[in-house]
Amino acid sequence: MIEYLTSRNFIILIIKIVVIFGGVMNVVGLLSWVERKMMARVQMRPGPTRVGPFGLLQPFADLLKFVFKEDVIPTNANTLLYIAAPIVSLVPAFLSFAVVPFGPELQVTDLSVGLLFIFAVTSLGVYGIALGGWASNSKYPLMGAMRSAAQMISYELSLTLSVVGVLMIANTLSLRELVISQQGTWLSVIPRWNIFLQPVAFVVYVISGTAETNRLPFDLAESEQELVAGWHTEYSSMKFLMFMMAEYANMIAVSSVATVLFLGGWNGPMFGPPLLQMILPTVWFVIKVGAFIFFYVLLRSTIPRFRYDQLMKFGWKVLLPLSLANIVVTSFIVAIS
Amino acid sequence: MIQLLFIFFAALAVGSAINVLIQKHVLYSALSLILMLTAMSVLFILLRADFLAVINVIVYAGAIMVLFTFVIMLLNLPADEDGADRLRWLKFIGIPLGLFLLFLIAVTLWNVEPLRTAQTPMVGSPQAIGKSLFNDYLLPFEATSLLILIALVGAVVFAKKDL
Amino acid sequence: MIPITWYLLLSAVLFLIGVLGFFLKRNIIALLLSVEIMLNAVNLTFVAFSSQQSQISGQIFVFFVLVVAAAEAAVGLALVIAMFRNRESLNVDRSNLLKW
């Protein structure tokens, strides 16, 4: 075993894990700045400007504030579950990045069932919210947690089913193969992305992904106007920071998977010297994920919130039949051609 | 290396299964069962059934146990009531008998002749399972969809307040 | 390599824990959880044999066991909710109206 632990493959694996984990942590911090700045601009105000140039050091200031805040645990709260809930929420959010291909060689591991792994890990994230709300022993968190958990498991169905069309076209579950199958172009101008082959599935996936990560317009579980802060009402300082990081990491994970499945991953026109060509795929990937995040923040700034029964009706009566119909139509077309 | 993984996750599975029995509050039992299900998934991966391992997490730990957790949270019971506990002596007979049964099984397994291992190793990839499921086992597959429909209707009817 | 006997023994231990839980617990939901432990132990046996015989049918059977377990958990929990509405208690000893 010692030979494996000191072999070159293992050391490269450790370096990849550290790079990707560190990168995602930093992007989560940057994302909070992006969100505040963009929402502020949409609302015609400047946003954070004081801390650092353009307010870029605001996430660090927030981090310091969270670290130094007092950590309050309510008296009647179930202590073990109360402390475990943010961890149960954070770990699946970061675990999804173990299989996402950031570049031709920049992927921690390429599981043959990589896509199912991401869905498995997402479905475990429901427990963090349910336990957090229940362990707080207070009515607003419990209501928010139950609503949010019911919403997440309802939209998981259309999330998983909308992807089956892409799987039928690409014939593989591994994310690296999915990206490689989208190389090349049609008529040398339109890239061979799955969004052109499966537009309905793309729309269903984006909407379900927004609902899965509890973002507006589906965020009634943490709506500030109705429930005080939803399931993280009773949480303070580091535990609240973990919940927030989990939400941002989930958002980036959903955007990354949407990029890999529908927008061709790290594919893009290659030009320039070999050194530039080494980092160019990752640059294309980051640009595409950035476009998704831009879209998510824009969605948050502009659209009002769904009511709970409207949300459940939409998930079960509109999105689920739509994704099933997409599967049927795609299977006909794939079987014929 | 693989032995270490097996021993660790087998101990985790057995430990969390015993924890399901020991806990007084049923929510802790449900959470221990989730831990046991993830340990079983790793054991499936060690047996190279990777599709089933991930399906185990998605279906069992991610859907069925969420159902259990919801029901436990919504029924909101206090810890296990200790009422008329006339079965207290049952533990002291049941557990030794159970261990005796385990001893019998272990002796049988050790004394049977070793099973012949097949030549070509098989990986439980999605392609292999799909090929077999939709060709040889198509009828049971369609029958399970009917079964799930029946369970759906049954669950909705039973849980309604007034029909 | 891990000999298959280890997996079978582990599965026997887990099944035994499930059986003990089913006989010794009085909470209905704990009984359902013990049934799930038993089903998981059986799943492990099927997958172990399927890996050793290099046949995929073991894993197909696990698939069906999973589906049946899901259906049974759903209907069982609906029954638990209906029972709870009537009796306000989840003790199985209280459900003894059919006793002589």
Query: Looking at the complex, does the CB of residue B106 fall below 8 Å from at least one CB of chain C?
Result: yes
**Could you say which residues from 69 to 88 on chain C have a Cβ atom under 8 Å away from some Cβ of chain B?**
69-75, 77-82, 84-85
Instruction: Kindly determine whether residue B10 and residue C6, on different chains, have CB atoms separated by under 8 Å.
Output: yes
Q: Which residues of B touch C16 (CB under 8 A)?
A: 98, 101-102
**Could you tell me the pLDDT band of residue A5, with boundaries at 50, 70 and 90?**
confident
pLDDT of A1 higher than 80: no
pLDDT of B115 reads: 66
Residue with tokens 């008329």: B84
How far apart CA A20 and CA A52 sit, in angstroms, is 26
pLDDT digits (tens, 9 = 90+) for C10-48: 999 999 999 989 988 888 899 999 999 999 999 999 999
For chain A, which residues make up each domain, given as ranges?
A: 72-336
pLDDT of B67 higher than 70: yes
pLDDT digits (tens, 9 = 90+) for B69-124: 988 888 877 665 554 455 667 777 888 888 888 888 888 877 776 666 665 677 77
User: Residue A185: enclosing H or E segment and its boundaries?
Assistant: strand A185-186
pLDDT digits (tens, 9 = 90+) for A287-335: 999 999 999 999 888 888 888 888 899 999 999 999 999 999 999 999 9
Contacts of A301 (CB under 8 A, 6+ apart): A38, A39, A42, A43
pLDDT of C71 reads: 94
pLDDT of B33 higher than 90: yes
- Give me the residue from A1, A153, A156 closest to B1, CB to CB: A1
pLDDT of B79 reads: 61
pLDDT of C9 higher than 70: yes
pLDDT of B69 reads: 92
Q: How is residue A96 annotated by DSSP?
A: G
Question: Under a CB-based contact definition with an 8 Å cutoff, are residues A224 and A126 in contact?
Answer: no
How far apart CA B21 and CA B14 sit, in angstroms, is 11
How far apart CA C74 and CA B67 sit, in angstroms, is 8
pLDDT of A253 higher than 90: yes
pLDDT, mean of residues B138-157: 93
How far apart CA C40 and CA C34 sit, in angstroms, is 10
Class of domain B1-77: mainly alpha
pLDDT, mean of residues A205-225: 80
- Which of A161, A166, A150, A264 shows the shortest CA–CA distance to A212? A150
Q: Which residues of C touch B125 (CB under 8 A)?
A: none
CATH number of C27-89: 1.10.287.3510
How far apart CA B137 and CA A38 sit, in angstroms, is 54
pLDDT of B7 reads: 94
How far apart CA C90 and CA C77 sit, in angstroms, is 12
Residue with tokens 């498991």: A153
Query: By percentage, how much of chain A surpasses pLDDT 90?
Result: 32
Q: Phi first, then psi: what are they for C91, rounded to 5°?
A: -85, 130
How far apart CA A103 and CA A117 sit, in angstroms, is 19
Instruction: Give the predicted TM-score (pTM) of the model.
Output: 0.90
pLDDT of A227 higher than 70: no
Least confident span in A7-16, A151-160, B78-87: B78-87
Give the chain B residue nearest A173 (alpha carbons): B126
Instruction: Kindly determine whether residue B13 and residue C14, on different chains, have CB atoms separated by under 8 Å.
Output: yes
End-to-end CA distance of chain B: 58
pLDDT of C89 higher than 70: yes
Structure tokens, A10: 């293992």
**Could you tell me the pLDDT band of residue A223, with boundaries at 50, 70 and 90?**
low
pLDDT of A210 higher than 80: yes
pLDDT digits (tens, 9 = 90+) for A81-122: 888 999 999 999 999 999 999 988 888 888 889 999 999 999
Higher pLDDT, B95 or A160: A160
Pick the residue of C7, C23, C32, C40 with the most B CBs within 10 A to test the interface with B by mutation: C40
Pick the residue of B8, B59, B73, B77 with the most A CBs within 10 A to test the interface with A by mutation: B73
CA distances from A93 to A145, A231, B73, B108, B111 (A): 18, 17, 24, 45, 48
Pick the residue of B48, B158, B161 with the most C CBs within 10 A to test the interface with C by mutation: B158
pLDDT of B80 reads: 58
pLDDT of B127 reads: 86
**Could you tell me the pLDDT band of residue A226, with boundaries at 50, 70 and 90?**
low
